[in-house]
Amino acid sequence: MSTPGIPRLSGADTVPLSVRSAAAWSWRLLLVAAGIGAIVWVLGQLKTIAVPVAIALLLTILLAPMRRALEQVGVPRGFATALSILGLIAFVTGLIVLAGQSIVNGFQDLWDQAVAGFQEFLDWLSNGPFGLDTASLGDLTQQAQDMVAGQSGSLISGALGAATTVGHVLVGVIITIFCTIFFLQDGRTIWTWIVNLLPFAAREKVHQAGRRGIVTLSSYVRTQILVALVDAIGIGVGAAFFVPSLAISIGILVFVGSFIPILGAIFTGAIACAVVLVSQGWVSALIMLGIVLLVQQAESHILQPFLMGHAVSLHPVAVVLVVAAGSLVAGIVGALFAVPLAAVLNTVIQYLHGHDKFPELGTDDHVPLLRRPTRDELPGTLLWANRPGATPDAGDGTGAAPQDGAGDGTGPGGPTAPR
């Protein structure tokens, strides 16, 4: 029974403010997480298309300076685009041929050294503290051979899966080249179309945020290329003292792996040390490890802070966590794209919240906004003023049909008006 003069409290009024705030945050965070999960799931289902498009965007940023340089010397844009892409294809083909020749020339020696090292390991098992006799070693070898033979079905299935993967890779390469051509040729037009799909009030802010995101992505791509090149040269030169026949292959492997920040350099450096260990022994492997650590420390403490600046302002802890999360969600593809995506989102979100990391860009650059079509320009609808059988006042309700926007500035020849 309620006391007169005292308002009756409902159940919601008895909930503490902190609990209500937590509940409000919780359902919003759950919705955001569900939206992100849905996007990731869709991208996973369309990875054969999404990954090539993302690679094409990175290649476009990489090749855009070359295309602009060719245009400045008088080369038509279409021809400049073709020359840029052909130059990239020639460069990648040259790397593959160079690495292939190095592997062919040095693989046999490395294989012989690995066999000799394995035989020394067996001798150590036989004469060392384990004291395994020849019969026991033979039994272990036979068990390993039987295990491999028993997995033949899995190997065949894996080979069939690899064939399917090769088909997907070929499709991805075609999509990448196709998208790169049009991104280089008509990137501004495509971006204008995307921006004009948004509500009118959001277009300008999204466009300015997108400009800053592209600057961040460009800084990241240029920096990663330079860092990967330094890592490849440093570790490749170090490997040349121990395995000269495989130094080029190791350098190329380090160059490619360095595009995965931190973890890629660690993995490829470990491979270089393992090759030297098999070839020259543990003393040379320790020296190679010192070379790898020296190169990576110089890269992470001198090159990256100097080149990245504030464009890609991600703490190393954030980089490691982002790469780990990307690899868990999407494997090596996620590890490759996790850091640039995080860097771009960091720049865009900060701009949308009022913090401009690149005030020198200004806001004078605008995309052309699509205008609202007049009723004369809507054939096939009830609003089409010149449709057969239309009454004279069907155009504007004043008794005179409009004449293609003449005199009001809204027709095809007039100025654009916001939609």
Give one DSSP letter per residue of 121-170, joined into a string. Answer: HHHHHHHSTT---HHHHHHHHHHHHHHHHHTHHHHHHHHHHHHHHHHHHH
Do both 233 and 221 map to the same domain? Answer: yes
Do both 223 and 123 map to the same domain? Answer: no
Instruction: Give the chain's domain count.
Output: 3
Q: Is residue 186 part of a domain?
A: yes
SS3 243: coil
Q: Is residue 180 part of a domain?
A: yes
Do both 267 and 347 map to the same domain? Answer: yes
Q: Is residue 343 part of a domain?
A: yes
Domain boundary among 368, 391, 412: 368
Contact 312, 220 (CB under 8 A): yes
- Give the model's pLDDT for residue 86: 92
Q: Which domain holds residue 381?
A: 370-400
Do both 311 and 223 map to the same domain? Answer: yes
The Cα–Cα gap between 370 and 385 comes to 21
Contact 216, 347 (CB under 8 A): yes
- Give the model's pLDDT for residue 407: 41
Do both 79 and 212 map to the same domain? Answer: no
Q: Is residue 348 part of a domain?
A: yes
Q: Is residue 162 part of a domain?
A: no
Do both 74 and 110 map to the same domain? Answer: yes
Contact 401, 385 (CB under 8 A): yes
pLDDT tens by residue, the chain, 419 residues: 455 555 665 666 677 888 888 988 999 999 999 998 898 888 888 888 888 999 999 999 989 989 999 999 988 988 999 999 999 889 888 877 877 766 666 656 666 666 666 666 666 666 666 556 666 656 666 666 566 455 545 544 544 444 556 777 788 889 999 999 999 988 888 998 999 888 888 888 999 999 999 988 888 888 888 888 888 888 888 888 888 877 888 888 888 888 777 777 778 888 888 888 877 778 888 898 899 888 888 877 776 666 665 556 677 777 778 888 888 888 778 878 888 888 899 889 989 888 888 888 888 888 776 665 555 555 555 544 555 554 554 444 444 444 444 444 444 333 343 33
Using a cut of 0.85, tell me whether the model's pTM lies above it: no
R_g over Cα of the chain: 31
Do both 86 and 227 map to the same domain? Answer: no
Do both 259 and 355 map to the same domain? Answer: yes
- Give the model's pLDDT for residue 15: 77
Contact 241, 98 (CB under 8 A): no
The Cα–Cα gap between 275 and 250 comes to 9
Domain boundary among 178, 195, 212: 195
Do both 349 and 375 map to the same domain? Answer: no
Do both 323 and 388 map to the same domain? Answer: no
Q: Is residue 407 part of a domain?
A: no
Q: Is residue 235 part of a domain?
A: yes
Q: Nearest CA to 55 among 290, 259, 300, 264? A: 259
- At CA 218, angle to CA 325 and CA 173, rounded to 5? 70
Do both 182 and 294 map to the same domain? Answer: no
Q: Is residue 341 part of a domain?
A: yes
Do both 49 and 180 map to the same domain? Answer: yes
